[in-house]
């Protein structure tokens, strides 16, 4: 215990306070900061937290959701805990400077230790029912791949997932597919394109929307190369763009330049700006993180992955919900060759160059394909890590439509007048 007290005394009090009080977090609005302060002041006066009923009575429509209230209470508890640590730190510091001898110092520290041990309110047990009711209903972030979504119920909020594939084997295709499906469900999503120009991402999303609407299907490559017919261009302007803008969820694509040097402050700033622009933030995708390794090196990239995963776990949006963080990663060649020998079954060693991906991810999903499978519009998917439940026993086949960025079991029958082979050949960039 004495060693513990010494370690506490050695901390810089103001730094500890600033870090844990959390009032300098850029994603807290002025209202949220004011509410947090009111909760602290009320506890200081009464020793109790303001009830949710009290907040409803006094704040009306601005009352936090049940989940947001639960997170608010947890934050206040952290602050109160740190206040106790700071008070203890001061006592230990005083003892170090005021003790007249080693015997006197041991006596003073023993007294402090006894007082600390006798405290019965150092731990606060949350109400499980409140925590349960604060969880969002329905699925998490879905992939559109039935076998995966049934096992996971969607990637849960507060978790990180990695989607791994070899070059040109469907990473971006699955990202665009899942983005569209979750925009329809009301998710606000940020896509960080570290490789392709961000306008390509919007074009691919327009193409995916054209498939979903079932009218005039427009391959993304035709949009990128500005080869649309007059009727296709009119359809894009009059139908597809309004459709995307009218979806329940909102979307924005960012690139490397939006993150500055990818320092912690830069990342926090992007999250705050994204929430402000979109009116909320539910999911963020990074495509693909190996690009960061080429620019900054492995150690720095691992730190970025870890930081973003932590923010996703700790971050709460303005609706009181947590964030889903998704990394797209390129499998190493050795991992791909092993998967090829094992009929599409990847292992975690395919991510060996960026070990932090596996450590930070609750889910790891692999995509595998080859020329034969692509000729029949199929690929194999394999959930090789699922920290919250069962993973797949073996890879599962699913349908793909590369020209329209569609992947999943519900792909419509492709009409015979569409030259699908040419559409696939057109996709010469990394999908």
For residue 38, being part of any structural domain is answered with: yes
Q: What is the DSSP secondary structure assignment for residue 322, as one 8-state letter?
A: B
Tokens of 65: 């959701």
pLDDT, averaged across the chain: 80
Whether residues 154 and 123 fall in one domain: no
Q: What is the pLDDT of residue 8?
A: 40
Instruction: List strands edge to edge, sheet with 324-330.
Output: 251-255, 189-193, 283-287, 324-330, 160-165, 363-368, 378-386, 396-401, 406-407
Q: Is the pTM of this model over 0.75?
A: no
Which is higher by pLDDT, 295 or 60?
A: 295
- Structural domain contains residue 138: no
- 37 lies in a domain? yes
Position 210 in a domain: yes
Domain boundary among 133, 167, 193: 133
Whether 232 shows a pLDDT value over 60: the answer reads yes
Q: Please report whether residue 140 resides in a domain.
A: no
Same domain, 150 and 121: no
Q: 309 and 198: one domain?
A: yes
Please give the average per-residue pLDDT across 318-343, as a whole number: 91
User: Which region among 57-61, 300-304, 368-372 has the lowest average model confidence (pLDDT)?
Assistant: 57-61
Q: 75-89, 152-166, 195-209, 312-326: which range is least confident on average?
A: 75-89
pLDDT for 160: 93
User: Where are the strands (E) in 172-320, listed by range?
Assistant: 189-193, 251-255, 283-287
402 vs 6, more confident: 402
Q: Is residue 322 part of a domain?
A: yes
Q: Can you give the CATH number for the domain in which 259 is found?
A: 3.40.50.300
CB 21 within 8 A of CB 37: no
Tokens representing 141 are: 């972030």
What's the pLDDT score for residue 130?
65
DSSP class per residue in 84-125: HHHHHHHHHHHHHHH-SSHHHHHHHHHHHHHHHHH-S-S---
Cα torsion angle, 206, 211, 213, 214, sign: positive
Say how far residue 367 (Cα) sits from the centre of its chain.
20
Half-sphere exposure of 390 (CA within 13 A, CB side): 6
161 and 128 housed in the same domain: no
Which of 343, 421, 324, 411 is CA-nearest to residue 381? 343
Residue 381, SS3 per DSSP = strand
H-helix or E-strand spanning residue 199:
helix 198-213
Find tokens 């020209």 and name the residue.
403
Residues 343 and 211 in one domain: yes
Q: Are residues 239 and 186 in the same domain?
A: yes
- Are 181 and 191 within 8 A, CB to CB? no
Catalogue the E-assigned strands of 194-301: 251-255, 283-287
- Tally of CB atoms within 10 A around 413: 5
Domain extent for 371: 146-426
Cα-Cα end-to-end distance for the chain: 56
* Distances, alpha carbon 151 to alpha carbons 170, 207, 357, in Å: 21, 29, 21
Residue 401 has pLDDT above 80, yes or no: yes
Compare 85 and 19 and report the one with higher pLDDT: 85
User: CA-CA distance, 117 to 111, in Å (whole number)?
Assistant: 10
User: Can you give the pLDDT at residue 177?
Assistant: 95
Look at residues 84, 110, 133 and tell me which one is the last residue of a structural domain.
Answer: 133
Same domain, 116 and 178: no
C-alpha 209/C-alpha 180 separation (Å) is 7
Whole-number pLDDT of residue 76: 74
Task: State how far the Cα of 361 lies from the Cα of 267, in Å rounded to an integer.
Answer: 18
What is the structure's pLDDT at 20?
38
Q: Which long-range contacts (CB under 8 A, 24 or more apart) does 294-298 make?
A: 295/256, 296/262, 298/353, 298/354
Asked which of 51-55, 172-176, 221-225, 303-307 is least confident by mean pLDDT, the reply is 51-55
Are residues 294 and 257 both part of a single domain?
yes
Look up residue 160 and give its two tokens.
């990180």
Is 301 part of a structural domain of the chain? yes
Q: Are 127 and 152 within one domain?
A: no
pLDDT of residue 73: 73
Long-range contacts, 132-136 (Cβ 8 Å, 24+): 133/66, 134/65, 134/66, 134/67, 134/69, 134/70, 134/71, 134/320, 135/67, 136/67, 136/321
Report the distance separating Cα 51 and Cα 42, nearest Å. Answer: 10
Dmax over Cα atoms in the chain, in whole Å? 94
How many alpha carbons lie under 13 Å from residue 69 in its C-beta half-sphere? 20
Average pLDDT score over residue span 279-306: 90
Domain boundary among 90, 111, 133: 133
């Amino acid at each position: 215990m004495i060693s513990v007290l010494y370690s506490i005394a050695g901390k810089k009090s103001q730094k500890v306070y600033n870090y844990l009080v959390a009032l300098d977090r850029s994603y807290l609005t002025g209202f949220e900061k004011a509410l947090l302060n009111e909760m602290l002041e009320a506890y200081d006066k009464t020793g109790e937290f303001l009830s949710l009923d009290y907040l409803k009575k006094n704040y009306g429509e601005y009352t936090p959701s049940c989940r947001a209230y639960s997170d608010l209470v947890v934050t206040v508890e952290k602050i109160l805990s740190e206040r106790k640590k700071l008070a203890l730190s001061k006592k230990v510091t005083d003892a170090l400077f005021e003790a007249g001898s080693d015997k006197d110092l041991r006596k003073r520290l023993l007294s402090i230790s006894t007082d600390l041990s006798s405290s019965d309110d150092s731990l606060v047990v949350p109400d499980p029912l409140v925590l349960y009711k604060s969880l969002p209903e329905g699925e998490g972030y879905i992939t559109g791949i039935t076998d995966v979504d049934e096992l996971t119920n969607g990637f849960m909020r507060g978790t990180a997932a990695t989607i791994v594939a070899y070059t040109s084997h469907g990473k971006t295709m699955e990202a665009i597919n899942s983005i569209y499906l979750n925009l329809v469900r009301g998710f606000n999503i940020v896509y960080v394109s570290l490789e392709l120009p961000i306008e390509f991402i919007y074009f691919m999303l327009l193409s995916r929307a054209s498939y979903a609407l079932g009218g005039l299907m427009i391959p993304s490559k035709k949009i990128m190369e500005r080869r649309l017919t007059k009727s296709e261009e009119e359809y894009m302007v009059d139908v597809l763009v309004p459709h995307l803008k009218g979806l329940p969820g909102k979307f924005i694509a960012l690139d490397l330049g939006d993150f500055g040097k990818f320092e912690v402050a830069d990342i926090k700033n992007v999250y705050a700006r994204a929430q402000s622009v979109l009116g909320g933030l539910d999911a963020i995708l990074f495509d693909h993180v190996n690009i960061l390794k080429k620019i900054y090196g492995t150690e720095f990239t691992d730190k970025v992955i870890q930081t973003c995963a932590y923010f996703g776990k700790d971050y709460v949006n303005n609706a009181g919900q947590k964030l889903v963080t998704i990394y797209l990663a390129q499998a190493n060649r050795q991992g791909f060759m092993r998967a090829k020998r094992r009929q599409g079954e990847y292992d975690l060693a395919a991510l060996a160059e960026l070990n932090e991906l596996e450590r930070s991810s609750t889910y790891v999903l692999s995509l595998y394909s080859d020329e034969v499978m692509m000729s029949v519009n199929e690929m194999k998917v394999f959930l090789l890590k699922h920290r919250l439940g069962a993973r797949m026993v073996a890879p599962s086949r699913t349908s793909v439509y590369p020209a329209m960025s569609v992947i999943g079991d519900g792909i419509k029958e492709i009409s015979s007048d569409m030259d699908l082979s040419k559409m696939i050949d057109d996709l010469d960039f990394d999908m």
